[in-house]
Homo-oligomer: A and B are copies of this chain.
Amino acid sequence: MVQTIDPWGNQEVKVDNAFLKQFGLQKFSETNQKQFKNHFFERNLMICHRDFDKFYAALQQKKRAVQLTGIASSGPLHLGHKVDLDFFLFIRSLGAESHLGICDIDAYVSRPDKKLDSMKKAKEIAVNNTAHALALGINKKEIYVQSQKPPRYYEFAFELSKKMTENTFRAIYGHLDLGKLSANFLQYADILHYQLKEFGGECPTLTGIGIEQDPHARASRDLVRRISYKMFLPSFAYFQHQGGLKEGTKMSASEPHTAIFLDDSLESAKQKIQRAFSGGRESLEKHRKLGGIPEIDKSYEILRFHHPDSKLVEHVYTEYKTGKMLTSELKKITIDFLTDFLSKHQAKVKKNLDTAEKIVYKK
């Protein structure tokens, strides 16, 4: 049976060679894996890509190469979103022209009313999300809000709607929800519009996404083959998603107890780590003897995804795995790291709220 992917669902996607083959995805080359001094590559967080090489070749030749990432402003940001933005900052550091879309229209239109019941609310959330993005180091000129684009952007989204049939949509997504459908055309426009002459013209682009977002990637590539504008097929890089704090879950804003939010108080963050699923053994004795299981430990996962120091993370892994480090010690390291990060980050967020308001409301 063919595996389908639901970009709005909450299931983990299994990625194996059969999966890669089925969807035409490529693994990163060994060269890539070695050349990038970045935790995404050092810690095996990258899964696969589509046409990353074309994008990277343009960067190496100092040609224009655009990266575009979007955040749907449907709720507060959690550590999982930080992964997206960290990847954004990494690609920017390679020299890419970088744009971060705060997707307020998409958020409102694609979420049920009980989750997000007005554009007004989506914009308030957009202010919050934008302030966090600024605090993480995205420049204000790199951020746009979907509801504040020039008319050409919307025109293009409507143009794209002419080029996709109901059958294509059903084949890719397995359903036809009119709100999600129209939000999708905005997503495709986000990914593709920087190749329009009004936004800089044809060039390779990259979008970093989780593997469950691949249907959008395939749809936007399919559209490039149908429209009359000459464009590069957009490239995509797929990274692992950070799991939730409970065993086997995805970090999701819909289930607050499974996620650490960038707005969480230090006390709340601390408590969440203390309660998080651990890879420790049932007794001290057994732990010392058998060692912990960092692969399933949620505190360790936070370090793996977020701690800047790869050597420290490796050290923790070994110590925990061999039973030298106890779960309480691992949790303490994670709590210290995380509360330090959150405290500094939240101070920056405060300073950036005014700028964020100006971006969202075009004051």
A residues in contact (CB < 8 Å) with B: 105, 108-109, 113, 117-119, 147-152, 154-155, 157-159, 161-166, 169, 176-179, 181-183, 185-186, 228
Contacts and interface: CB of A to CB of B under 8 A. Distances in A.
A217 B105 CA distance: 25
Contacts of A169: 178
Contacts of A119: 155, 159
A169 to B, nearest CB: 7
Contact of A182 (B117, B118, B158): B158
Contacts of A178: 161-162, 164-166, 169, 181
Given A147-B152, A154-B154, A161-B179, 19 more contacts: A105-B155, A105-B158, A108-B162, A109-B158, A109-B159, A113-B162, A119-B159, A150-B151, A151-B154, A154-B157, A158-B186, A162-B179, A162-B182, A164-B178, A166-B176, A169-B178, A176-B176, A178-B181, A181-B181
Contacts of A154: 151, 154, 157
State how many copies of this chain the complex holds: 2
A158 B162 CA distance: 16
Contacts of A118: 228
B151 A148 contact: yes
Contacts of A162: 108-109, 113, 178-179, 182
A180 to B, nearest CB: 9
Given A154-B154, A178-B166, A109 B147 contact: no
A183 B164 CA distance: 13
Contacts of A117: 228
Contacts of A148: 151
Contacts of A165: 178
A192 to B, nearest CB: 14
A166 B118 CA distance: 21
Contact of A181 (B159, B161, B163): B161
A120 to B, nearest CB: 9
A166 B173 CA distance: 15
A10 B155 CA distance: 28
